[in-house]
Amino acid sequence: MPHIGRPAEPDKRTLRREILAARSRLTVDDLRKSALALAEHALLLPELAQARTVAAYVSVGSEPGTLALLDALRARGVRVLLPALLPDNDLDWGAYTGEGSLARVQHGGKMALFEPAGARLGPDAVTTADAVLLPGLAVDARGMRLGRGGGSYDRVLARLERTGAHPALVVLLYDTEVVERVPAEAHDRPVHAVVTPSGVHRFHAA
């Protein structure tokens, strides 16, 4: 007799594929409008309003846009750190001082990334951040984040925990990417907030 109960939650690979397919259908106008709305809502977050240093990233392709937010933070006098991917998938960091401080870097067969062109500050630089903007594909009602699967930000979160750093953890997503549940593993940690083009979702469990 078949077991009757809750439907099985989708595996990470399936969920990633579905979300990336949906993102690929977004138009240039969709991306532009979403980026402006995301920046507007994110700048109202107390965690960002009070931050002196924010670790962030430059969006690529159809990811929720971050450049408008990065420039607005910098205009406020916030020190913005951006990641540089290392050969072992860990992240180094450098300062963002405007679009002219970015270099387009191709990492093998992966998507090209925009990374800080200036001096590298070391992987531990992220521990100085008051808030960390994490890329992601989805976040569920518990605040659990689905990443792309490379493990870079798992290392960042482990480094923060190991050093006793407790920055606010914020993810930028599209509205449809806040879901009921994503598959989570023992090492996964919930985020504090998600910003979407329509507003902010907070997670008290974090």
What pLDDT does residue 205 have? Answer: 52
Tell me the C-alpha distance between 104 and 184, whole Å: 32
Min mean pLDDT across 7-16, 36-45, 141-150 is at: 7-16
What pLDDT does residue 10 have? Answer: 62
What pLDDT does residue 63 have? Answer: 96
Tell me the C-alpha distance between 118 and 157, whole Å: 24
Q: Residue 71 pLDDT > 90, yes or no?
A: yes
The 3-state secondary structure of the chain reads: CCCCCCCCCCCHHHHHHHHHHHHHCCCHHHHHHHHHHHHHHHCCCHHHHCCCEEECCCCCCCCCCCHHHHHHHHHCCCEEEEEEECCCCCEEEEECCCHHHEEEECCCCCCCEEEECCCCCCHHHHHHCCEEEECCCEECCCCCEECCCCCHHHHHHHHHHHHCCCCEEEEECCHHHECCCCCCCCCCCCCCEEEECCEEEECCCC
Q: Residue 1 pLDDT > 70, yes or no?
A: no
What pLDDT does residue 150 have? Answer: 82
pLDDT digits (tens, 9 = 90+) for 119-142: 999 999 999 999 999 999 999 999
Overall average pLDDT of the 183-203 stretch: 89
What pLDDT does residue 7 have? Answer: 41
What is the CATH T-level fold of the domain 12-202, as seen in this structure? Rossmann fold (3.40.50)
What pLDDT does residue 5 have? Answer: 39
Retrieve residue 10's tokens. Answer: 């989708």
Q: Residue 162 pLDDT > 60, yes or no?
A: yes
Q: How many CA atoms lie within 13 A of 53 on its CB side?
A: 15
Which residue reads 């990492």 in tokens? 107
Q: Residue 6 pLDDT > 80, yes or no?
A: no
pTM: 0.90
Overall average pLDDT of the 153-173 stretch: 95
Min mean pLDDT across 57-61, 94-98, 148-152 is at: 148-152
